[in-house]
A and B are shown apart, each in its own frame.
Chain A
Amino acid sequence: MTQTQSAQPEVPAEATPPDVAADGDDHGEHHDHPSDRQYVKIALILGGLTALEVFTYFESVHNLGDAAIYVVLIVLMILKFIYVVAWFMHLKFDSVLFRRVFVAGIVLALGVYLVMLTAFRIWGV
Chain B
Amino acid sequence: MTTTSEPPLQLTAGEQLVRPSTSLGVLSRPKGDTGWQSWLFTVDHKRIGIMYGAAALLFLVMGGVEALLIRLQLAVPGGSVLSEDAYNQVFTMHGVTMVFLVIMPMAAAFANYLLPLQIGARDVAFPRLNAFSLWCFLAGGIFLNTSWFLGGAPDGGWFGYAPNSGLVYSPSNGMDFYALGLQIAGIASLVSAINLITTVLNMRAPGMTLFRMPVLSWMLLVVQFLLLFAIPVITVALFLLSFDRLFDANFFNVAAGADPLLWQHLFWIFGHPEVYILILPAFGIMSEVIPTFSRKPIFIAIGFMGWGVWAHHMFTSGMGPVSVAAFSLSTMFIAVPTGVKILNWLATMWGGRIRFTTAMLYSVGAVAMFTIGGLSGVTHAVAPADTQQTDTYYIVAHFHYVIFGGSLMGMLSGIYFWWPKMFGHKLDEKLGKIGFWVLLIGFNLTFGPMHILGLQGMSRRIHSYAADSGFNLWNLFATVGSFVIAVGVLLFFWNIGVSRRRARGAPPVGPDPWDARGLEWMTASPTPTHNFDRDITVTRQDEFWHRKWRIGDDGKVTRIARSEDVAHDGSATDVHLPSPSYWPFVVALGLPLVAYGLIYNLWITGLGALVILGGLYAWVFEPPDDPEAHAHDDHHDADPSDDSGNGASGGGTSPNGDGEPDSGDGTRQLAEAGVAGGPSAQATEEQP
Contact = CB atoms under 8 A, between A and B. Distances in A.
Interface string B207-229: 00110000000000110010001
Interface of A: 15-20, 22-23, 97, 104-105, 108, 111-112, 115-116, 119-121
Contact of A17 (B204, B222, B307, B311): B222
Contacts of B319: 119
Interface residues of B, number: 21
Q: Which 5 A-B pairs have the closest CB atoms?
A: A17-B225, A119-B323, A116-B265, A112-B269, A108-B229
A20 B210 contact: yes
B320 interface: yes
Contacts of B320: 119, 121
Given A20-B201, A97-B201, A105-B229, A116 B210 contact: no
A45 to B, nearest CB: 27
Contacts of A104: 229
Interface of B: 201, 204, 209-210, 221-222, 225, 229, 233, 259, 261, 265, 269, 304, 307-308, 310-311, 319-320, 323
Given A97-B201, A108-B229, A112-B307, A17 B221 contact: yes
Nearest to B211: A19
B406 to A, nearest CB: 22
A15 B201 contact: no
A104 B230 CA distance: 12
Nearest to B317: A119
B311 to A, nearest CB: 7
A119 B265 contact: yes
Contact of B307 (A105, A111, A120): A111
Contacts of A120: 259, 261, 265
A13 to B, nearest CB: 14
A23 B204 CA distance: 9
Given A19-B210, A108-B307, A119-B323, 11 more contacts: A20-B201, A20-B210, A22-B209, A97-B201, A108-B229, A111-B307, A119-B261, A119-B265, A119-B311, A119-B319, A120-B265
A60 B257 CA distance: 34
Most buried by A among B209, B259, B265, B308: B265
Nearest to A23: B209
- Greatest chain B CB density within 10 A among A16, A104, A116 is at A116
A15 B201 CA distance: 17
A22 B308 CA distance: 30
Nearest to B314: A119
Nearest to A108: B229
A89 to B, nearest CB: 13
